Amino acid sequence: MKHLLSLNDWSTAEILDTLKLAEKLKTETKSGIEHTHHLKGKTLGLIFTKSSTRTRVSFEVGMTQLGGYPIFLNANDIQLGRGETVHDTAKTLSRYLDGIMIRTFKQSDVEDLAKYGDIPIINGLTDLVHPCQILADLLTIYEHKGELKGLKLAYVGDGNNVANSLLIGCAKVGIHISVATPKGFECDASILNIAKEAAKLTGSNILLTNDPAEAVTNADVIYTDTWISMGQESEKQTKVKVFTPYQVNSKLFSYAKEDAIFLHCLPAYRGYEVTQEIIDGPKSVVFDEAENRLHAQKAVMVKLMGN
């Protein structure tokens, strides 16, 4: 487990072991137990060509709690693949750092850093996948449901990086997943094939549909994400028209199980992909989910960078 480039790289056992460690670290932290020995004296570079609230704060706080030092590098600080080749950047940073978290656009940038560097690389988000988010999601689901295998998760909305990683993550741990997207906004075909192969080993069922009600029927978990991802602001008017039937509201929620919970990776836009009564209501666990980014990522850093 040298890198976290995609959940496809990790086995079911590795994912579950990481979730178990995350749960342990979370419980102990809240009990006042410190974990500064895990990464004492180590340094994590944080490369951001895409800005973020949760990713930056959770990694900086997590690294500090583990006894290490985070170094923030934004798009103006590092010319990844532009002023300098990814090869040279990876080779150079490997001499300074003990690990890199990168949040960027191209999946190839993440993979090239891992290919040419000599230190662990953590994918904080690309346009293709978002593995750290899904580890936090799985931890949240387990906390509220007490299990993973055999549950049903329904994702409604854009077939984006979060949906792609949910397909893999759910398939890897045996969660049945149904994805409802408008035509033309489906999940990546290569990711779907990866998820289907994983599902064969765990018994996970995968359903793709254009009907939100079909996807949500008897779901234990309902998940959505913003319709307009970073860099797509010019498409807002068109996408809102297409995606309005996919809004998560009380009517759609009525198709799910009585004790279903609601997840959203945030930032959320109330009145668009989800109504206020859902995201701020009793079934919503979005802020538990946001907090769990910290704990899941701490577990990832310990696994990849610990002695």
Q: Examine the residue annotation and report whether 264 is marked as an active-site residue of this protein.
A: no
> In one letter, which amino acid is 80?
L
Q: Examine the residue annotation and report whether 265 is marked as an active-site residue of this protein.
A: yes
* Number of other CB atoms surrounding residue 254 within 10 Å: 11
| pLDDT, tens digit, 9 for 90 and up, residues 126-164 | 999 999 999 999 999 999 999 999 999 999 999 999 999
The catalytically annotated residue of 130, 176, 264, 295 is 130
Instruction: For residues 222 and 233, state if they share a domain.
Output: yes
Q: Examine the residue annotation and report whether 82 is marked as an active-site residue of this protein.
A: no
Instruction: For residues 255 and 146, state if they share a domain.
Output: yes
| pLDDT, tens digit, 9 for 90 and up, residues 52-98 | 999 999 999 999 999 999 999 987 788 776 678 889 999 999 999 99
d(CA 136, CA 297): 8
Q: Examine the residue annotation and report whether 38 is marked as an active-site residue of this protein.
A: no
Instruction: Measure Cα distances from 136 to 26, 131, 140, 158 in Å.
Output: 12, 9, 6, 20
Which residues 6+ apart lie within 8 Å of 188 measured at CB?
128, 159, 164
The catalytically annotated residue of 38, 103, 176, 264 is 103
Instruction: For residues 165 and 75, state if they share a domain.
Output: no
CA dihedral sign, ordered 59, 173, 201, 210? negative
| Residue range of the domain that includes 235 | 133-289
Q: Examine the residue annotation and report whether 293 is marked as an active-site residue of this protein.
A: yes
Q: Per the domain annotation, does 1 fall within a domain?
A: no
d(CA 119, CA 284): 38
What does the DSSP 8-state code read for residue 220? S
Tell me which residue of 146, 147, 181 sits closest to 162, measured CA to CA. 181
Instruction: For residues 53 and 158, state if they share a domain.
Output: no
Q: Examine the residue annotation and report whether 176 is marked as an active-site residue of this protein.
A: no
Instruction: For residues 150 and 13, state if they share a domain.
Output: no
Instruction: For residues 278 and 164, state if they share a domain.
Output: yes
| pLDDT, tens digit, 9 for 90 and up, residues 178-206 | 999 999 999 999 999 999 999 999 999 99
d(CA 301, CA 281): 33
The catalytically annotated residue of 3, 176, 293, 295 is 293
- Pair type for strands 261-264 and 221-224: parallel
d(CA 149, CA 172): 9
Instruction: For residues 214 and 300, state if they share a domain.
Output: no
Instruction: For residues 139 and 248, state if they share a domain.
Output: yes
* Number of other CB atoms surrounding residue 202 within 10 Å: 17
Q: Per the domain annotation, does 2 fall within a domain?
A: no
The catalytically annotated residue of 132, 187, 265, 297 is 265
Domain with residue 25: its CATH number is 3.40.50.1370
Helix (H, G, I), strand (E, B) or coil at 20: helix
Instruction: Please indicate whether residue 73 or residue 209 has the higher confidence score (pLDDT).
Output: 209
Instruction: For residues 104 and 146, state if they share a domain.
Output: no
> In one letter, which amino acid is 8?
N
Instruction: For residues 262 and 144, state if they share a domain.
Output: yes
